[in-house]
Each structure stands twice: as structure tokens, then as C-alpha cells.
């Protein structure tokens, strides 16, 4: 096992991170992060329309630079790097031509937002997602949403493409192939991007694109034709076979072997979605819920086949054979807004101050920008301290649907709510209520799984918030009433991608052996506090009541 190395590449919403890992013991020898420059400038995005697009050049530049950086930092012999694993946000599809070249690289589409990668959190396609759900229920054939929670999401593959085709007939007429972000990167590295060559991820296809073995793969041509002729044309190009991420998509192409200085026999694992890789990096097993806490949350579970009900769980983001660990059923649920909710409040309280500093006649421009940067860096820590100093009992109550509700019971049109304010309410009380609402939302998801017969014995938290906000994690433990273990690694998705690479390259024969060697240990366990558990049991009921008022009050208003 000596002198075998793997690289894990994690494409997040704002940046890409690569790590170089010693496969013998999981030690991370080097890390490199690349922030997407075009994305940082806001190119091709329009938040007012919930349009979030990324140029593929951001990803290719980041892929090359971060891998070269970890090789340089570590001093490892590049010829001893056996495999590369890739995870990416999802569903984040992108149109490519017949040769696999992104349309964004063609002159006629170079400034077209619809030719870019459509980021997971783009919610432009709410109406299209609802159309897909209605058709699946009423067309007289297979209900293709059965294993995707029973409702299709605007964050997913077919809804996004349908939105583009309905609003951009010129792009639709070009009849592109569409690839998930993780599939595109794996295809780019291996040189297998043409239709018929692409290795599609079981994880992305099953959770986001309605793939299931029981109906032979992706939805039928007849079904997709009823939505748009372009979707029927697309599915004819898509291989019905999908692969789990412990398998190899191929080896490095000569182009990328030369770019990176790696051997042409370096294996590239089939891609996967970032949260699923994070669960693997945290050592997921049956009974362990891995909670990925970031911009949104993803709650990841696996179960033995014998422990899964014949009837799929409704109201979640899908259950897919082999999507997390081959040989197990993978479950996904989550919250559409998590860190985003806290970032929204930070922006709410700081924007007026920052604008006043910029227009101040007392503070010059350079000093003002330095002051703004310092305050921005310190604001969330300040709000956490203020919230932590609040008394346990509080009348301020919030609902966490700032970006709609993902689970349980997808409804992307729902809004958040805040109640119980008075003249004595300060920032700490409000921020505490927002944190509590996020934890209440998590409790509702766990209760939903348990009510549907899915076993949960322990909860492991990963992601930036799990590492950086002890107040939130302690509140989570108090509200769930169970210990919360936090993984030590700050790069669990990349670590999970490295585990997949270690199996795909043949270093380990199967996932458990690779995870035993490489997965992150636990850094800290937060124990629930008895007094807080009792209090939050009562407040959770108030949260559920407020949620019903928000949801069904809005529905009643819309029906008038």
C-alpha cells in the first residue's frame, strides 16, 4: 500500500478544491482552492430572476491549477498518483455539441447564459418542474417521480433543460447533448465526451434525472415528447446505463496527462454529487445520517436492501441504488436554504452600514473598503455570540423556508416567516430564532425518515457551518435530542472523491476497505442539554404550527 496516492477534486458553488491523499492512511498531503473568477464577478447571473449560471472555463482553469498546485506542494512523484475522483454540485447540467464541446465555447453562444452550466440553486424552472410532476401523475404511464420523492424540482436536470428550450428556441434548435457537471469533468479528463462515450453518474442520474432500473433507465421518449420535442431528441442520445462512482470512467487522456504531468494510466472515477461524496468522506454506513451543512443542507443516508420498504419514501430528494455506496440504497433529503438564511440576515443588517461608509465624508475610500472588509469578516461571529448570550426561552420564532422547502414535501414557492418581535427584540434574539428554525427543519426531516421506516442511529455533521459554528451545532443537538458528531476533515467531499478514486484505480478492492483507511475521524461530539431538550420539544410544536399557517394560509390566499 506504500506510495499510492489519489487526488480528490470537489467542485463547490463558489470554488473548486483539490486534495492529494496518501491512500495508505488518508493523510492529506496538500490542498489547493481556486475561486471561480467569472462567477465572482456575477457574469451570466441574475439573482432577481433566480438565474445562476457558471462558465465552464472557470471549472477547467480551476481543475488544472489546483491539481498542479497539490502536486507541486506535496513533492509526490506524479507517476505514483493512481487515481482521480470528482464530485460537483448537482443538478448542474450544461449543453455540449456532438463532440462534447460546451456550447459556451462556440462564438454564437459565448454570451448566452443558457449555454452555460446551470447551477444547482438556479430556480428559474419552478413552472417547468410542476409541469413535469403533473404529467408524471396523469399521462397514463409510469410515474417517473416515484423514486424522486413524488415531486420534481426546479433544481433538477429535466426541468432546467425544459425551461431553456421553452425560452431559447435558437439553443434548442442546435439539439445539444446535456451533461451533468460531474459527468462533464470526468469526460473531459478521459477524452470521452461524445454521445455514446460519456459515462453517466448513477448518483446524478438517479437523484436528479428520473433514472431508475425498473423502467429501463431514463424516462421514455413518449413521456418526454409530451413535454418538449427537444427532450425526446436528447434522451435518444443518452446511454441508459449508469455507473456507480467506485468504477472508472477511463484513464487520463493524452491531453490531460500532459497538462497535469500525470501518467496516462491514471484512472478517473465516475463522477458524483458533492453531498454524496461528503457522506462517503464522513464514513457513512447504515443508520448514520450525514448532514452536509453549507449554503443548503443535504441529509444523506444508506440502507441495506432488506431494510427498505417496497414503497419508496415520498417527500424527499430520492432513493437510488448505489448512489452513495454501491450495494446499498442511498437516500437524500435536505433544506434549500441553510447557510443562505444566515447570510441573508448578515446582508440585511450590514448593507446599509456599508453603503453609508462608502458615501461617508469622514472615511476615505481605501480606509472605508478596509473597514467594510473587516466588518464583513466579523459580522457572523458577532451575531453568533449575541445569539449564544440570549436566554434559552424566547418568543421569537422563525420558519426556515427562505428559499422554499426541499424536504419533506417539496414546495419551492414557500416563503419564510418571523414572528414574536417586540420593541425589546435585538439582533441576538432574531439570529437565534433563525438558527433554531434551521434545526427545527432538520428535526422534521429526521422524523419524516423515521416515520417511513428508515433507521437513524446517529447524526454526523460536515461542512463549513458544522466546523465554524459551535452555537448552531449545539442548538442542533438540543433540538434533535441526540448527540451530533462533527467530522474532523474540512474537505470531506474531496475526501469522499478520493475514496472513490482509490477503489476505481484498484488500490482497494471495495469501498469499506478504502473508507476504513481514508475517511475522516470524528473531531468533536456535541451532547444535548437536558433542559434545552425539554424546552425545544415545546417550541418545535410552535414551529410546526407556524409552518402550517404559512403554507396553508398562502394556499388559501392563492385560491381566492
Q: What is the pLDDT of residue 557?
A: 47
For residue 385, being part of any structural domain is answered with yes
CA distance 34 to 362: 36
Q: Each residue of 192-206: pLDDT tens digit?
A: 999 989 999 999 999
Confidence of residue 492 (pLDDT cuts 50, 70, 90): very high
One domain, residues 483 and 494: no
Where does residue 141 rank: exposed (0-12), middle (13-18), buried (19+ CB within 10 A)? middle
Sign of the four-CA dihedral 176, 181, 183, 187: positive
Q: What is the pLDDT of residue 211?
A: 98
CATH number of the domain within which 364 lies = 3.30.420.40
One domain, residues 49 and 127: yes
Q: What is the pLDDT of residue 295?
A: 86
The three-state secondary structure class of 219 is coil
Q: Each residue of 401-455: pLDDT tens digit?
A: 999 999 999 999 999 999 999 999 999 999 999 999 999 999 999 999 999 999 9
One domain, residues 232 and 361: no
Query: What percent of the chain shows pLDDT beyond 90?
Result: 95
Cell readout for 254 is 493524452
Q: Each residue of 218-254: pLDDT tens digit?
A: 999 999 999 999 999 999 999 899 999 999 999 999 9
CB 429 within 8 A of CB 396: yes
Contacts of 441 (CB under 8 A, 6+ apart): 335, 400
* pLDDT higher at 3 or 239: 239
For residue 76, being part of any structural domain is answered with yes
One domain, residues 503 and 392: no
CA distance 307 to 29: 39
Query: What percent of the chain shows pLDDT beyond 70?
Result: 98
What's the CA dihedral at 400, 402, 408, 409 to 10 degrees?
140
Q: Which residues pair with 6 in a beta bridge?
A: 21, 83
One domain, residues 79 and 133: yes
Q: Stretch 257-286: mean pLDDT, rounded?
A: 97
One domain, residues 116 and 78: yes
Secondary structure E strands in 190-261:
248-251
Per-residue CA distances from 536 to 167, 394, 475, 491, 529 (Å):
47, 11, 9, 32, 11
Confidence of residue 3 (pLDDT cuts 50, 70, 90): confident
Q: What is the pLDDT of residue 84?
A: 98
What is the pTM assigned to this prediction?
0.93
Confidence of residue 71 (pLDDT cuts 50, 70, 90): very high
One domain, residues 63 and 133: yes
Q: In terms of DSSP bridges, do strands 458-462 and 288-293 run parallel, antiparallel, or are they unpaired?
A: parallel
Q: What is the pLDDT of residue 380?
A: 95
| Residue 308 pLDDT > 70 | yes
| Residue 556 pLDDT > 80 | no
One domain, residues 502 and 553: no
For residue 476, being part of any structural domain is answered with yes
Q: Stretch 313-335: mean pLDDT, rounded?
A: 96
CA distance 96 to 193: 9
Cell readout for 454 is 428508515
What backbone phi and psi angles, to 5 degrees, belong to 245? Answer: -85, 5
Q: Stretch 113-137: mean pLDDT, rounded?
A: 97
Q: Each residue of 378-387: pLDDT tens digit?
A: 999 999 999 9
Q: What is the pLDDT of residue 109?
A: 98
Q: What share of the chain is helix, strand, coil (3-state, %, to 5)?
A: 45, 20, 35
Q: Stretch 359-368: mean pLDDT, rounded?
A: 92
For residue 324, being part of any structural domain is answered with no
Query: Residue 505's closest CA among 270, 266, 240, 259?
Result: 266
| Three-class DSSP labels, 242-281 | CECCCCEEEECCHHHHHHHCCCCCCEEECCEEHHHHHHHH
Check residue 271 and give left, alpha or beta (phi > 0: left; psi -120 to 50: alpha): beta
Domain range for 89 is: 5-282+489-522
Q: Stretch 345-371: mean pLDDT, rounded?
A: 95
For residue 182, being part of any structural domain is answered with yes
Q: What is the pLDDT of residue 554?
A: 53
Helix ranges (H only) for 92-147 are 126-138
One domain, residues 452 and 511: no
One domain, residues 470 and 482: yes
Structural domain total, the chain = 2
The three-state secondary structure class of 517 is helix
CA distance 350 to 536: 30
For residue 291, being part of any structural domain is answered with no
One domain, residues 414 and 508: no
CA distance 36 to 232: 33
For residue 159, being part of any structural domain is answered with yes
For residue 301, being part of any structural domain is answered with no
Query: Residue 118's closest CA among 167, 189, 82?
Result: 167
One domain, residues 42 and 157: yes
Amino acid at each position: 500500500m506504500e506510495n499510492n496516492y489519489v487526488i480528490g477534486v470537489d467542485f463547490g458553488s463558489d470554488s473548486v478544491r483539490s486534495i492529494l491523499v496518501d491512500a495508505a492512511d488518508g493523510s492529506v498531503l496538500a490542498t489547493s482552492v481556486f475561486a471561480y473568477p467569472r462567477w465572482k464577478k456575477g457574469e451570466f447571473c441574475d439573482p432577481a430572476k433566480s438565474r445562476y449560471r457558471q462558465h465552464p472555463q472557470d471549472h477547467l482553469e480551476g481543475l488544472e491549477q489546483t491539481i498542479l498546485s497539490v502536486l507541486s506542494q506535496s513533492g509526490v512523484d506524479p507517476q505514483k498518483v493512481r487515481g482521480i475522483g470528482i464530485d460537483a454540485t448537482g443538478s448542474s447540467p450544461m449543453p455540449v455539441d456532438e463532440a462534447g464541446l460546451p456550447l459556451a465555447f462556440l462564438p454564437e453562444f459565448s454570451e448566452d447564459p443558457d449555454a452555460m452550466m446551470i447551477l444547482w440553486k438556479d430556480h428559474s424552472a419552478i413552472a417547468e418542474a410542476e409541469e413535469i410532476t403533473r404529467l408524471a401523475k396523469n399521462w397514463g404511464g409510469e410515474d417517473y417521480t416515484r423514486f424522486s420523492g413524488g415531486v420534481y424540482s426546479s433544481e433538477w436536470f429535466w426541468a432546467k433543460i425544459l425551461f431553456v428550450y421553452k425560452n431559447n428556441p435558437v439553443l434548442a434548435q442546435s439539439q445539444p447533448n446535456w451533461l451533468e457537471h460531474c459527468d462533464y469533468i470526468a469526460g473531459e479528463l478521459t477524452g470521452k465526451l461524445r454521445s455514446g462515450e460519456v459515462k453517466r453518474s448513477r448518483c446524478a442520474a438517479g437523484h436528479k434525472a428520473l433514472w431508475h432500473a425498473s423502467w429501463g433507465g431514463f424516462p421514455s421518449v413518449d413521456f418526454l415528447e409530451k413535454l418538449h420535442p427537444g427532450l425526446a431528441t436528447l434522451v435518444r442520445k443518452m446511454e441508459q446505463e449508469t455507473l456507480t462512482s467506485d468504477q472508472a470512467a477511463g484513464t487520463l487522456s493524452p491531453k490531460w496527462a500532459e497538462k497535469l504531468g500525470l501518467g496516462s494510466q491514471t484512472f478517473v472515477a465516475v463522477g458524483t454529487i458533492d453531498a454524496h461524496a461528503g457522506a462517503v468522506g464522513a464514513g457513512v454506513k447504515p443508520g448514520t445520517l450525514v448532514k452536509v451543512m453549507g449554503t443548503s443542507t443535504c441529509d444523506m443516508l444508506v440502507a441495506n436492501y432488506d431494510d427498505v420498504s417496497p414503497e419508496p419514501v415520498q417527500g424527499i430528494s430520492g432513493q437510488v441504488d448505489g448512489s452513495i455506496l454501491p450495494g446499498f440504497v442511498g437516500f437524500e433529503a435536505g433544506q434549500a436554504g441553510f447557510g443562505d438564511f444566515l447570510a441573508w440576515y448578515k446582508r440585511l443588517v450590514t448593507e446599509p452600514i456599508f453603503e453609508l461608509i462608502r458615501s461617508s465624508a469622514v472615511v476615505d475610500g481605501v480606509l472605508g473598503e478596509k473597514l467594510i472588509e473587516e466588518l464583513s469578516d466579523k459580522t457572523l461571529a458577532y451575531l453568533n455570540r449575541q445569539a449564544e448570550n440570549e436566554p434559552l426561552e424566547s418568543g421569537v420564532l422563525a420558519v426556515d423556508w427562505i428559499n422554499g422547502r426541499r424536504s419533506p414535501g417539496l414546495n419551492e414557492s414557500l416563503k419564510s416567516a418571523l414572528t414574536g418581535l417586540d420593541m425589546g427584540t435585538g439582533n441576538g434574539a432574531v439570529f437565534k430564532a433563525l438558527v433554531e428554525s434551521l434545526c427545527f427543519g432538520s428535526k422534521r426531516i429526521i422524523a419524516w425518515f423515521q416515520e417511513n421506516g428508515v433507521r437513524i442511529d446517529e447524526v454526523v455533521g460536515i461542512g463549513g457551518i458544522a466546523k465554524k459554528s459551535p452555537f448552531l451545532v449545539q442548538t442542533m443537538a438540543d433540538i434533535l435530542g441526540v448527540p451530533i458528531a462533527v467530522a474532523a476533515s474540512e474537505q470531506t467531499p474531496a475526501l469522499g472523491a478520493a475514496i472513490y478514486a482509490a477503489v476505481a484505480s484498484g488500490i482497494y478492492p471495495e469501498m469499506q476497505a478504502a473508507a476504513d483507511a481514508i475517511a475522516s475521524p470524528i473531531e468533536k461530539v456535541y451532547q444535548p442539554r437536558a433542559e434545552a431538550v425539554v424546552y425545544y420539544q415545546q417550541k418545535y410544536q410552535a414551529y410546526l404550527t407556524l409552518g402550517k399557517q404559512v403554507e396553508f394560509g398562502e394556499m388559501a390566499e392563492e385560491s381566492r
